[in-house]
A and B are shown apart, each in its own frame.
Chain A
Amino acid sequence: MSRIRDQKKYEKTFAFHFFRWLSGEKDMYVGNMEMKPQREPEETEESIEERMKDHQQVLAEVYDQTKNKELLLFEKAYKFLSILFCLALVAILIVTVSYLPRVGNAANPDNNIVSETYIKEGLRDTGAVNIVTGMILSYRAFDTFGETNVLFIATCCVMILLMVDEDKIKENADSNDRDFEPKNDVILQKAASILVPIVFLFGIYVILNGHLSPGGGFSGGAMIGAGLILYVAAFGFNKTEKFFNEKVYTVVKVTALVCYGCIVAYYFLTGANGLPCLVPLGEPGKILSGGITLPINIFVGSEVACTMYAFYALFRRGGL
């Protein structure tokens, strides 16, 4: 049952006064304290104009380098000091280097138990023949996941900066350079039609063999991205959109990142709680080996390829 209070009673309540005070309509203590409203100082239009003009002139003259000699002197001194600072930095660093352990010496402090264990146990622990890939994806998995997130956030940030709305494209023509698309350059297209498959194949090879030979998800993904960029440069965006548009991009990227994240989360949680990791390590030397290395390489590779292409597309025309 609701109770309706009439307006006059309500006006006497504290809540009414409080809300009026909150919205600035009335002062709570208006009876208690005298408050005089301040008047605006009287100014004619001319004087305002003059004041603004003076202000502008002062600003312009203070920061005008050709006229203001003190500013010029200050900037020169500043520059000189900065160069001095940089030289001092280099000198300090070189002195530091002269005290550091010798290059190439096997007895250096950095060749300690950690790196020895990586080499001795790396293959057994991670199943990856390439110790570096095995290390960054298993021993230092958290770093690498963070690094993939750096790529992801950089794409988002570039999108904030360069993404153009579909309806705004017509308004400012310089933001998209569709006019600058290649005009059926025969040499480029012939070369691209030969090169692009090779680049793709090589990239896929590098990704799939990441745990066996040099390379891995990042380099292979960058190669595939470069192949996509070459394709776009030769054939234009319209042809590329047939197989790689924004939808495909989002699906591939989100799937890759989510799968990667799930693998990593599973790996972290089982590892920390002392549970065994159920991913088999496989036989060293085979493609289907390396435990979590191979799937992670594939996901990282597709994410990096998408990112590289996204950078290029965003730079070229402000959209995917």
Chain B
Amino acid sequence: MEMILNFPCLCILLTMFSAIISSALNRRWARYLNTFVVTLVGILSAAVLMFTLTSGKSYVYQMGHFPAPFGNEIRFGSLEAGMALFFSVIMLLSLNGGREKIRMEIDPGKEKLYYIMINLLLSSLLALVYTNDIFTAYVFVEINTISACGMIVITEHGRTIEAATRYMIMSLLGSGLFLIGICILYDMTGHLLMEYLYTSISNIMAAGTYRIPMMVAIALIVVGLAIKSALFPFHAWLPDAYGYSTVSSAAMLSSLVSKGYIFLLIKLIYRVIGFEVFFGSRIINVLFVFGLAGMIMGSVSAIRENDIRRMISYSSVAQIGYIYMGFGLGTGAGMVASVFHILSHGATKSLLFVAAVGLTDASGGHKEFDELTGAAYRNRLAGAAFLVGALSMVGIPLFSGFISKLLFAQAAVQSQGKALAALVVLAVSTVLNAIYFMKTVIRIYTPTDKKYEVTAFGYKVSYAITLGCFILLNLLLGLFSQPITNWITQGLTILQ
């Protein structure tokens, strides 16, 4: 067996080991270890991505000495490897961009614990991406939830505690539904591995024996994951959690944690439930409606917001609505658009959070729009980065957001019966996006006389490099959209 096939398993084990060892180190070494491990995971994932792209196949890696239906397994193709690479890149960049803030906002005694959370978050994300066993997925979903909670509460602020409590309650409701869905599924099929589940489910659907329980189980799993990834009516915890936690946490929560659940859902749709069964069921209509509602309501709430961080958070609600709308379209093109939007939103939202912190710091730490007037002149790079992020979110060509909107529109046109609703809401949501992002951009580019205390934060080299990398990532996603969509399409085909 080739060495490279061991890499995904090694990545998961490495991140777990680094978390365990970090608890015995001091904070500086924990930081170095964390950076090293995240970089290493990125490099290894890139190697796996190259390997799977050239071979065009997917591989099953058995965890232990026991073959298929008995032991645990992980499985990787090009899509999984690419996602792992993307997650580690975004994690590295958001950590780097918020490093100063981490130092300032987190109690030095607890910084070590923060890096433990990050390491385990990465390991759970990798496991969610690679896993081939749904009960393993449940365990790692819990790790993901707990580490996200830790990342929210690390800043000592009453609001974060309240937001974390709400987040935990919502997540636990979601986990409960997810778990009972898995149990019902296990009861009907007797398997936990994805391939065997897939065969059993297609047999059951063909025979028509357990039709109703099967539908209920699928609905429970999908709704559980949707609740966990903050689909529209379940987003009450989100603005406070993103708005008041430290900036790296906010960037990672919006672009990694919720995306991990969504990627798991995509994997379940293709590998467990089956494309035809899922798109033949009514549940996609529910996802479609809630997705559309989220696109509108998230943007409306964002317009009414007077705090830049909370505004970006509400924008996340709208973007998650887009992704679920893509699921709800019920076509392969819709799924491709959703996966692309995971990438583009991940890259853009973390950029916006990191840039926003530069702007607020140049305005004496105020987050209200009144105080942000002219902030882009006080910290030019952050202003430019925010401009790029805002343009991408609105969907200006050249940037990644445009491509995802284009893909959504194309997918909507192809779908039957849902084209009109999807296109209208897409247009309305784009206009609403434009309203609140352009409002902010105009505000930060309006010159003002008011003087603010100059903080050293915005001029750190690492911060500038981070913003540059983010802008580059955004442009890459926007300019090389064709190979990326090809890769996604190919990855989704071999996912099955």
Report which A residues bind B (CB closer than 8 A): 21-24, 27, 35-40, 92-93, 95-96, 99-101, 108-115, 117-118, 125, 138-143, 145-147, 149-150, 152-154, 156-157, 159-161, 163, 165, 250, 253-254, 257-258, 261, 264-265, 267-274, 277
* Interface contact B189-A109, CB-CB below 8 Å: yes
Chain B contacts with A in 179-194, Cβ cutoff 8 A = 180, 184, 186-191
Q: A39-B449, A254-B20 known; 7 other A-B pairs, CB under 8 Å?
A: A36-B447, A37-B449, A100-B210, A109-B189, A110-B187, A159-B110, A268-B9
CB of A71, distance to nearest CB on chain B (Å) = 16
When chains A and B are docked, how far (Å) is the Cα of A160 from the Cα of B200? 44
Instruction: Check if B116 sits within 8 Å of A150, measured CB to CB.
Output: no
- Interchain CA distance A282-B217 in the complex, whole Å: 42
The dominant DSSP class at the B interface is helix
Q: Is A93's CB under 8 angstroms from B71's CB?
A: no
Residues of the B chain whose Cβ atoms lie less than 8 Å from the Cβ of A274: 1
Give Cα A117–Cα B68 distance, bound, in whole angstroms: 12
Given the complex of chains A and B, what is the CA–CA distance between A147 and B5 in angstroms? 25
Whether the Cβ atoms of B72 and A22 lie closer than 8 Å is: no
One of B34-42, B132-140, B316-324, B426-434 at the interface: B132-140
- Shortest CB distance B202–A (Å): 14
| Contact B447 A35, beta carbon cutoff 8 Å | yes
Instruction: Among A99, A100, A138, A150, point to the contact of B142 (Cβ < 8 A).
Output: A150
Residues on B with beta carbons closer than 8 Å to the beta carbon of A264: 13
Q: Is the CB of A24 within 8 A of B377?
A: yes
Can you sample 7 A-B contacts with CB below 8 Å?
Answer: A38-B374, A140-B72, A146-B136, A146-B143, A153-B117, A156-B117, A267-B64
Q: Mark B7-32, 1 if CB is under 8 A from A, else 0.
A: 00100010011011101100000000
Tell whether, in the assembled complex, residue B188 and residue A109 are in contact, meaning their CB atoms are under 8 Å apart: yes
Contact A165 B107 (CB under 8 A): yes
Is A273 touching B1 in the complex (CB atoms < 8 A)?
yes
Looking at the complex, which one of B16, B66, B120 makes contact with A145 (CB distance below 8 Å)? B16
Across the interface, which residues of A come within 8 angstroms of B110, CB to CB? Answer: 159-160, 163
Taking CB atoms, residues of chain A closer than 8 Å to B191 are 112, 114
Q: What 0/1 pattern do residues 122 to 155 of B give for CB contact below 8 A with A? A: 0100010000010110011011001101100110
CB <8 Å contact, B150 and A157: yes
B109 within 8 Å of A (CB atoms): yes
A22 CA / B184 CA spacing, docked (Å):
59
A contact patch SS: helix
Q: B-side interface residues toward A, CB under 8 Å? A: 1, 5-6, 9, 13, 16-17, 19-21, 23-24, 61-66, 69-72, 74, 107, 109-110, 113-114, 116-117, 120, 123, 127, 133, 135-136, 139-140, 142-143, 146-147, 149-150, 153-154, 161, 180, 184, 186-191, 200, 210, 212-213, 216-217, 362, 373-374, 377-381, 446-450, 459, 464
Which residues of chain A are near B140, meaning CB under 8 Å? Answer: 146
Does A111 contact B190, Cβ atoms closer than 8 Å?
yes
The chain A residue sitting closest to B217, CB to CB, is A96
Q: Is the CB of B19 within 8 A of A149?
A: yes
Nearest chain B CB to A93 CB, angstrom units: 7
- Output the nearest chain B residue to A159 by Cβ-Cβ distance: B113
A254 and B190 in contact, given A24-B379, A40-B449 (Cβ under 8 angstroms) = no
**How many Å from the CB of B167 to the closest CB on chain A?**
12
User: Given B143, B150, B362, which contacts A149 in the complex, CB threshold below 8 Å?
Assistant: B143
CA distance A109 to B146 in the complex (A): 34
Q: Which of A99, A139, A147, A268 contacts B70 (CB 8 A)?
A: A139
Chain B hits for A143, CB < 8 A: 72, 133, 135-136, 139
Structural contact, A96 and B212, CB atoms closer than 8 A? yes
B449:A156 contact, CB within 8 angstroms: no
In the bound complex, do residue B449 and residue A146 qualify as a contact, i.e. CB atoms below 8 Å apart?
A: no
B63: chain A residues within 8 A (beta carbon): 141-142, 268, 271-272
Q: Is the CB of B23 within 8 A of A38?
A: no
Contact status A142-B64, CB under 8 Å: yes
Q: How far is the CA of A109 from the CA of B207 in the complex (A)?
A: 14
Cβ of A125: which chain B residues have Cβ within 8 Å of it?
65-66
* Contacting pair A153 B70 (CB below 8 A): no
Question: How distant is the Cα of A258 from the Cα of B13 in the complex, in angstroms?
Answer: 11
Contact A277-B212, Cβ < 8 Å, known A21-B380, A269-B6: no
Please, how many angstroms separate the alpha-carbon atoms of A265 and B116 in the complex? 20
Q: Contacting A261 at CB < 8 Å: which of B16, B139, B212? A: B16
- Are B447 and A37 in contact, CB atoms less than 8 angstroms apart? yes
State A138–B142 Cα separation when bound (angstroms). Answer: 22
Q: How far is the CB of A8 from chain B (nearest CB, A)?
A: 24
Contact present for A149 and B447 (CB under 8 Å): no
Measured between alpha carbons, how far is A38 from B113 in the docked complex, in Å? 45
Tell me, in angstroms, the Cα distance from A264 to B70 when the chains sit together.
Answer: 17
Are A96 and B70 in contact, CB atoms less than 8 angstroms apart? no
In the assembly, what is the distance between CA of A267 and CA of B65, in Å? 7
The 3 A-B residue pairs whose C-beta atoms are closest, nearest first, are A271-B65, A142-B72, A110-B190
Q: Bound state CA distance, A73 and B236, in angstroms?
A: 20
The CA of A295 and the CA of B374, in the complex, are separated in Å by: 63
- Tell me whether A139 and B449 are in contact in the complex, defined as CB-CB below 8 angstroms, given that A149-B16, A156-B117, A157-B117 are known contacts: no
Least distance between B257 CB and chain A CB atoms (Å):
14
**Could you say which residues of chain B place their CB within 8 Å of the CB of A254?**
20-21, 23-24
